[in-house]
Amino acid sequence: MADAPRFSVITPVYNTPADVFWAMVSSMRRQGFEDWELCLVDDCSPSPHVAALLDEAEGTDPRVRVARRAENGGIVAASNDAVAMARGEFLALLDHDDELHPDALLLVDRALREEPEADYAYTDEDKIDRAGRHSGPFFKPDWSPERMRTQMYSCHLSVFRRSLVEEVGGFDPEFEGSQDWDLVLRATERARAVVHVPRVLYHWRMLEGSTSGADEAAKPWAFTAGTRAVQAHLDRIGMPARCTHDPEDRGVYHLDPELTDEPLVSIVIPTAGQVREVRYEPVVLISHCLRSIVETSTYENYELVVVTDTPADPALLEELREIGGERLRLVEYDKPFSYSDKINTGAAAARGEHLLLLNDDIEVATPNWIERMVMYSGMEGIGAVGGRLLLQDGRLQHVGVRFQNGLPGHPYWGFRGDFRGYANAARIATNCLAVTAACLMTRRELFEQLNGLSDRFPVNYNDVDYCLRLWRAGKRSVYDPDLKMIHFESSSRSSAVEEWEKRLLMEIWLPFTDPDPYSNPQLRHELPRPSSKFSWMPRRPRLLRRRLKGQPA
């Protein structure tokens, strides 16, 4: 093949069993898209059968190219050799024991043509055993930078523009074991666009000793390398955070704040001075909330802006002054009830660089909650930060807002507090279209640019509308699972949302929210549909696929 192919598939080979090697090569030869080359690099396999396998593979198809390393250098060295021999416009990473779906390159090519600026593409994936049985599909969201920092979710199939891989210097041996994650992080820091193909196009073989297998301890160094790769990324982008891996699940990582300065944070709390039973004791919600902030928070530089209805109970105001001390600023609100306007009134009186909108029925459960929010809110691309809200009995209330058919909802509402969510979605930091204003941080500058919460939504959906306006302005919302709060919301869910509110929200935002880019077509309420089990099946019979040969290069 004289001309450069569209795709170079990069495959380091080491002691590959013959059956899985041929399954891998066959999956390439079955591709409906033909303009590819397979770059196989043998990393000095001691098993004598590998040399024969490579010779045979090279002989069966001119698109299969083979190189042999003189000495064993590990997966990074072999991958870099494969990158060096590649001629394609894009590099696709395929492990020596895995398989590609017959439509993989075809659909990735189509997606890349639809988004000409895309420098990185990834697809959904599943697992396959030695006998070829499929299981454990992973249906992924569209590009989610915050998720990428706490979970290597894009993984397989990953396709990079070759020029970008060369620009960032290829695979880094310092992160052997998590070299793919490191490369994705470095590449996406510079990528103009990232595309996601929501189809299971990669089959990750479960073999003993593979990280796809059940035994995650098989490659413990991979997880520590992952921590280092994320840390290096955080340092490069200037995010004041430290990465650690989860002792219970090493595929999950956490970010802890390491702030260098503490900008002023204004905590804006609207209140009507309500009394409610909390843990079998009647309490004034705002007093309870303020007390939990003052007693629990480790952040020093904050002010409390409490917006009260007039006339407020003088005894309550006195109690609030006693709890809040010099931090407290009381703002009176004498208009008819509008949550949005009440928040905007409080925000107008605030002096902080960051606004933290908080309901008065919240209790702080994480001492460094403000630090956590500032860690995210200070980043340029982020517009709003929310946390993990739990009901009084410990069940989940909020893990980020997801849209289904254009309407927002709380996935996993009422599930156990330790429920992991689909693919650990409740345990990792992730992007979402919106977070609840029961606890939401945003930069004041952004809040003012967008004229605060909209008075078109005086009671419900004002937070969703605000986050969507941020989204339209290019700012992401983030859910942080390590920021826990107790929300004394009624534990029997009653929908107080009016029909007109739903209609208005859909009228304005439907093109942005349906489909929700942070969900997946195979998920409903963030759990897999039973029919998704068959989603790996080829879409077209083999004969029809053959007709698709001869794609433009």
Question: Which stretches of the chain bind other proteins, using CB under 8 A?
Answer: 107, 197-199, 279-281, 391-396, 405, 414-417, 419, 514-515, 521-522, 524-525, 527-532, 534-535, 537, 539
Minimum CB distance to other proteins smaller for 17 or for 406: 406
Shortest gap between Cβ of 416 and other proteins (angstroms)?
A: 4
Rounded to a whole number of angstroms, the minimum distance from the CB of residue 419 to other proteins is 7
Compare residues 436 and 532 and give the one whose CB is closer to other proteins.
532
Cis preceding linkage at 317, omega within 30: no
Tell me the closest approach of the beta carbon of residue 408 to other proteins, in angstroms: 15
Q: How far is CA 216 from CA 66, 106, 157, 251, 252, in A?
A: 31, 32, 20, 8, 12
Q: How far is the CB of 138 from other proteins (least distance, A)?
A: 14
User: How does DSSP classify residue 90?
Assistant: E
| Minimum CB distance to other proteins smaller for 277 or for 445 | 277
Phi, psi of 355 (to 5 degrees): -105, 135
State the number of CA atoms in the 13 A half-sphere of 327 facing the CB.
20
Task: Using the structure block, give the residue that is written with the tokens 């396999």.
Answer: 45
CB of 478 to other proteins, least distance (A): 22
Nearer to other proteins, 310 or 531 (CB): 531
What's the rounded Cα separation, in Å, for the pair 92 and 70? Answer: 24
CB atoms within 10 A of CB 219: 16
Nearer residue to other proteins within complex by CB, 320 or 396: 396
The β-bridge relationship of strands 265-271 and 302-309 is: parallel
What the block records as the tokens of 376 is 């995210």
Among the residues of 238-368, which ranges form H helices? 285-296, 314-324, 339-349
Classify residue 121 as left (phi > 0), alpha (psi -120 to 50) or beta.
beta
Angstrom distances, CA of residue 266 to CA of 119, 158, 231, 271: 39, 42, 29, 16
Minimum distance from residue 540 beta carbon to other proteins (Å): 10
What is the nearest approach in angstroms of other proteins to the Cβ of residue 179? 28
CB of 118 or CB of 267, closer to other proteins: 118
Residue 445 or 514: which CB sits closer to other proteins?
A: 514
